[in-house]
Amino acid sequence: MSEIPHLLVHEQGDSVGVVVVEGLEANTDMLVCVTHDNSTFRLTALEAVPIGHKIALKDLAKGDTVFKYGEDIGIMTADVKKGHHLHTQNCKTKRW
């Protein structure tokens, strides 16, 4: 892979990926790498998203479970479209 990935996804079934570059701007055509099998795909970031934050890999509805690392990491508190920022404004843990 000669191009540096913008987003890392851990498992094929994950619903989010993590931004791994500084200054990701809206409308960026991202290279996404799935670390489990080293496969890649393209996705457009529809918003500017800070490094370390998540981007939805598919449309997610309020009440949907969010998967990262192949694990349940929380529940959606608002609808989010594929390519949008996913963070505390629209997702929360199920622990409390």
Residue range 21-40: mean pLDDT, rounded: 97
Per-residue model confidence (pLDDT) at position 96: 78
Under 8 Å between Cβ of 14 and 39: no
Query: Cα(69)–Cα(88) distance, rounded to whole angstroms?
Result: 18
Distance, CA of 47 to CA of 26 (rounded, Å): 4
Average of per-residue pLDDT values in the chain? 95
What pLDDT is recorded for position 1? Answer: 52
pLDDT, one tens digit per residue, over 50-85 is: 999 999 999 999 999 999 999 999 999 999 999 999
Tell which residue, 51, 54, 61, has the closest CA to residue 24.
51
Rg (CA), the chain: 13
The pLDDT of residue 35 is above 70: yes
Q: With contact defined as beta carbons under 8 Å apart, do 49 and 41 qualify?
A: no
Spell out the domains of the chain, with CATH numbers in brackets.
7-92 (2.30.130.110)
pLDDT reported for residue 5 = 97
pTM summary value: 0.93
Distance, in Å, from the CA atom of 70 to the CA atom of 15, rounded to the nearest integer, reads 9
